[in-house]
Amino acid sequence: MKNIFLLFVALILFTACEQVVLNDTQGLQDDDKWIEDIQVPQEPEEPEEPEEPEEPEEPEEPEEPEEPEVNREWTFIVYMAADNDLESAAIADLNEMEAVELNGSISILALVDRHPGYDMTNGNWSDTRLFEIETDPAGVNSTIISNRLDCPELGLLKETETELNTADPLVLSHLIDFAKRQYPAEHYALFVWGHGTGWRSGPQAENSRVSAVKAAAFDDTHGQYMTLPSFGRAIAGRGLSLIGFDTCYAAVLELAYQIRNDAELFVGSEGEILSNGWDYTSLFTDFLGKPDLTVNDLGDSIQDSFAAQYATMNGATISQVRLAEIGNLFAKFDAFAGIVAEAITGEPVRNAVLDQVLHNVEGYHFTSFPSDLYIDILDFSAKISGIAADITPDADRQEAIIMAAEELESALAGAAPSSWAKNGTTRKIGVHVIPLQGIAVPASSHELAYVRGSMSIDKSAFVENSLHWVPNAVPQNDSLLDKLFYWTY
């Protein structure tokens, strides 16, 4: 009985323990649920590094416009200021150009400004037109067959009539820009065609308000001329290889000095030429027959063609001027003038020198007056140094005059190594002296545009820089023109 009692107690104890275990297990499960519900704080995450903004892509460089292919040796720009009494001559010269057997090695552009009253051919148009010269199988005749061009730079359209002022330097500069853009070439030549009359615009325009300055490109419709400084600005930095003046009175030191930095070669005449100017058929035919088509070849073709055309005309000259040598020529000429000026100490000597200038030195002027007087520098140097003993009894001064003349002649040989003259002389470059009222009759004064220090605006580089040749607003002892025309002895 005792054993049964003990077994009963053990059973009761076992059942109680199991209940406790079961309750504890449930408690643990509840605890787990509680633990899950508790939000255990976590260590804050380190903030992400902000992404660096992407560098903006650099804009692509705009593509350089492709340079037009250069497939010609030369582009010629013929500036035909024919809005005056040379209108018929311009039509004739255009036809001479069309008679040339052109090939792909050159292009010729001609800007032609006509006058309403001198020529009635070719439709009698009187505006300004740009042509690309084409070969006329019929040769020289009176009909223009060349292709008329649009030119945005000048506002020219083939189908419209537009009157331009060829005396405006912007017309010339824009034409050159157009030619270089549309007709790229290894070399560019500018031919200035028309009247050229020296420092005063000449007897045809003696009442003009601009008659006091060097003029070219006469435009009757607008009543204007292109001055020497204006021409210099129009062509400055335009990359020309050769500049030719098919005008009168072009091969003068004043003009060459103004454009000394703007081309390799300059070609022109010291004095007058015929109204029909150069023979373009002969000139271009000769040039295209040369193998290399160099700048020197072109200069030779102009000179040789001119010499053949003007072989019987007294006073005719043509010069090839190397512009790189003009600075030296200017310096030697001015120095020579200064040495002679300082040696003139009295009226008799002054008269002796002036007599040489007016009567013996080779000179050029119009046959009607008033007109400018130009003299040949080489002949002037030779004649004045030849009377050094009459100018001064001082042996040192005589020697200085002779040596300065020799240096001047050497500079001329460098600046004008090739030239032609009907009288057989060489090294042809002229210089202005004074306006004339008649043969060997000088005017009472110079134009203000030729007076250094005057109130005249826009004087040429030659006048601004010459210390010993041009007259001064206040006469100077070492200025030759002051000593000849304004000095009191």
Burial of 276 (0-12, 13-18, 19+ CB in 10 A): middle
| Block residue for tokens 């009539």 | 161
For residues 435 and 467, membership in a common domain is answered with yes
For residues 309 and 334, membership in a common domain is answered with no
CA distances to 126, 171, 281, 309, 450 from 113, rounded to whole Å, are 7, 11, 21, 25, 30
For residues 185 and 296, membership in a common domain is answered with yes
Choosing from 264, 281, 313, the residue where a domain stops is 313
For residues 151 and 254, membership in a common domain is answered with yes
Tokens found for residue 114: 């006509």
For residues 256 and 377, membership in a common domain is answered with no
Q: How far apart are CA 404 and CA 333, in angstroms?
A: 8
Cβ partners under 8 Å of residue 258, min gap 6: 228, 229, 231, 232, 460, 461, 462
Q: Model pTM? A: 0.83
Judge whether 41 lies within some domain. Answer: no
Judge whether 129 lies within some domain. Answer: yes
Q: What is the number of domains present in the chain?
A: 2
For residues 442 and 391, membership in a common domain is answered with yes
For residues 476 and 437, membership in a common domain is answered with yes
Q: How far apart are CA 110 and CA 189, in angstroms?
A: 12
Choosing from 280, 313, 346, the residue where a domain stops is 313
Judge whether 423 lies within some domain. Answer: no
Judge whether 419 lies within some domain. Answer: no
Judge whether 62 lies within some domain. Answer: no
Helices (H), 277-355: 280-288, 295-309, 326-343, 347-355
For residues 251 and 379, membership in a common domain is answered with no
Backbone phi, then psi, for 147, in 5-degree steps?
Answer: -80, 125
Query: Could you give the angle at the alpha carbon of 57 between the alpha carbons of 54 and 60, nearest 5°?
Result: 175
For residues 234 and 194, membership in a common domain is answered with yes
For residues 390 and 303, membership in a common domain is answered with no
Domain that holds residue 390: 330-413+431-485
pLDDT tens digits, the chain, 489 residues: what are they? Answer: 445 444 444 444 444 444 433 344 444 344 444 334 434 445 445 545 545 445 445 555 555 545 556 789 999 999 998 888 888 999 999 999 999 999 999 999 999 988 888 888 888 888 999 999 999 999 999 999 999 999 999 999 999 999 999 999 999 999 999 999 999 999 999 999 988 865 443 333 333 333 444 467 766 778 788 889 999 999 999 999 999 999 999 999 999 999 999 999 999 999 999 999 999 999 999 999 999 999 999 999 999 999 999 999 999 999 999 999 999 999 999 999 999 999 999 999 999 999 999 999 999 999 899 899 999 999 999 999 999 999 999 999 999 999 999 999 999 999 999 999 999 999 999 999 999 999 999 999 999 999 999 999 889 999 999 999 999 999 999 999 999 999 999
